[in-house]
């Protein structure tokens, strides 16, 4: 039997030495992909393919080879979506280089839900983690699907907060759909496969590689009406997601942070460039007032004065209330907001003598504001 165009597109996508641009050129020049399995190496070479690719490609487009590969996905419970499918996300088609193929595990219908991307540093401060939890949890509870990259730090925190709120979340991987990275997210991966959705444009078995993750970020931006950068330094990969969002005429949101914190320099730079300042979920939700009425199941209510009100009890402000702490306790708390620190670092920054510092640290531990880890490292709870 003759393979359909969809199967041949998957074959091209998985073929060795064939990238996005070459597939684009093939689609532009040849309307009927079903002819491609009949081409020999010479025909591919005349099209401009390198000799090595021209030699191997004909075998990789044969029916037996392709059906064997496709059956592997079916056996692993992996669904395949192509740009030719009616279910392919409409928003994704609007970006500069939409993936030809998407591999998914879980609730594929989430690709047609209302999505907001959330990204940030892999090494967040306590402030960044808290902000990610509040924003992701609140939006997920109100019907928004949170999209992130399942990386360490902010990404993982956003997924976990969305799940904790019994909401929807999508993880876009920078590896093959069956490769769990980072390894410590194995439990999160399995939870997402059951309650959310895992997405990748890379074939099974594709290992982690630095060059793949920036490409992954365009999918996070492409699925989302807007992208939120929670916490990022000036060289953070999260800013790549913001760039893709801007290039696709999508909204970019940024959370303000301490001007003294390196982890906030990227978000502060985005704000200077015109990103929408975020102090709570309402700052994001209100940008999509009319759209959300059609996409989400009563995500919020609108009062007569036009203000958007949170449908939950959580505060719209993301800054913690530390008014009940003493001045000395506030000093240490604000230092730890910028990142975990050992006792020597705390003494250097606070200029407290060690006796006072120990007293303040003990008081903050008793008040359940901080905890001590091995190596005399202190962190906010």
For residue 245, what are the domain limits?
108-309
Same domain, 186 and 122: yes
User: Does 117 fall in a domain?
Assistant: yes
- Provide the mean pLDDT of the chain: 88
User: Does 41 fall in a domain?
Assistant: yes
Read off the pLDDT of each residue in 254-277 and give the average, rounded to a whole number.
93
Same domain, 71 and 142: no
Q: How far lies 29's CA from each of 23, 24, 36, in Å?
A: 10, 9, 12
pLDDT in tens, 180-218: 999 999 999 999 999 999 999 999 999 988 778 889 999
Q: How far apart are CA 36 and CA 22, in angstroms?
A: 14
Asked whether residue 131 carries a pLDDT value surpassing 70, the answer given is yes
pTM value is: 0.80
Same domain, 145 and 255: yes
Q: What is the largest CA-CA distance in the chain?
A: 82
pLDDT for 313 equals 41
Same domain, 224 and 270: yes
pLDDT for 167 equals 96
User: Does 350 fall in a domain?
Assistant: yes
Q: What are phi and psi of 176, to 5 degrees?
A: -60, 155
Q: What order of strands is seen across the sheet that includes strand 115-119?
A: 79-82, 101-106, 197-200, 169-172, 145-148, 115-119, 226-229, 251-254, 276-277
Class of residue 342 by CB neighbours under 10 A (exposed 0-12, middle 13-18, buried 19+): middle
User: Does 97 fall in a domain?
Assistant: no
Q: Give the domain CATH number at 299.
A: 3.40.50.450
More confident residue, 105 or 303: 105
Q: Give the domain CATH number at 345.
A: 1.10.10.10
* Total number of domains constituting the chain: 3
pLDDT for 122 equals 92
Task: Judge whether 101 and 81 are in contact, CB under 8 Å.
Answer: yes
User: Does 199 fall in a domain?
Assistant: yes
User: Does 270 fall in a domain?
Assistant: yes
Residue ending a domain, among 309, 344, 372, is: 309
pLDDT in tens, 281-331: 999 999 987 676 656 544 444 433 334 334 344 444 455 667 788 989 989
Same domain, 154 and 224: yes
Following DSSP, what letter does each residue of 20-72 receive, concatenated?
HHHHHHHHHH-S-GGGGGG--HHHHHHTT--HHHHHHHHHHTSHHHHHHHHHH
User: Does 15 fall in a domain?
Assistant: yes
Q: Which has the closest alpha carbon to 278: 231, 321, 233, 324?
A: 231
Residue ending a domain, among 265, 282, 309, is: 309
């Amino acid at each position: 039997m003759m393979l359909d165009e969809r199967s041949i597109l998957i074959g091209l996508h998985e073929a060795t030495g064939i990238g996005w641009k070459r597939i684009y050129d093939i689609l532009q020049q040849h309307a009927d992909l079903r002819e491609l399995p009949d081409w020999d190496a010479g025909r591919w070479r005349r099209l401009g393919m390198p000799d090595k690719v021209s030699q191997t490609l004909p075998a990789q487009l044969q029916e037996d080879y392709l059906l064997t590969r496709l059956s592997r996905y079916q056996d692993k419970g992996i669904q395949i979506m192509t740009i030719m499918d009616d279910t392919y996300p409409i928003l994704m088609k609007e970006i500069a280089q939409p993936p030809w193929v998407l591999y998914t595990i879980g609730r594929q219908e989430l690709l047609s839900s209302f999505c907001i991307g959330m990204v940030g540093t892999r090494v967040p401060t306590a402030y960044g983690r808290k902000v990610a939890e509040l924003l992701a949890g609140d939006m997920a509870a109100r019907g928004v699907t949170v999209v992130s990259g399942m990386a360490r730090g902010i990404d993982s925190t956003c997924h976990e907060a969305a799940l904790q709120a019994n909401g929807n979340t999508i993880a876009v991987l920078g590896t093959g759909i069956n490769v769990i990275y980072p390894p410590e997210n194995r439990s999160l991966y399995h939870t997402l496969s059951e309650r959310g959705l895992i997405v990748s444009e890379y074939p099974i078995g594709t290992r982690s590689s630095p060059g793949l993750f920036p490409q992954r970020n365009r999918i996070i931006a492409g699925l989302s009406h807007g992208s939120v950068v929670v916490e990022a330094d000036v060289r953070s990969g999260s800013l790549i997601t913001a760039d893709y969002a801007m290039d696709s005429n999508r909204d970019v949101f940024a959370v303000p942070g301490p001007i003294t914190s390196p982890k906030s320099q990227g978000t502060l730079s985005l704000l200077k460039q015109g990103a929408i300042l975020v102090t709570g979920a309402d700052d994001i939700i209100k940008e999509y007032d009319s759209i959300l009425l059609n996409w989400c199941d009563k995500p919020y209510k609108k009062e007569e004065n036009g203000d958007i009100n949170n449908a939950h009890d959580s505060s719209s402000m993301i800054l913690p209330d530390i008014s009940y702490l003493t001045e000395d306790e506030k000093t240490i708390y604000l230092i730890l907001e910028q990142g975990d620190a050992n006792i020597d670092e705390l003494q250097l920054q606070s200029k407290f003598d060690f006796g006072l510092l120990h007293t303040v640290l003990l008081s903050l531990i008793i008040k359940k504001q901080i905890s001590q880890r091995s190596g005399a490292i202190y962190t906010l709870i």
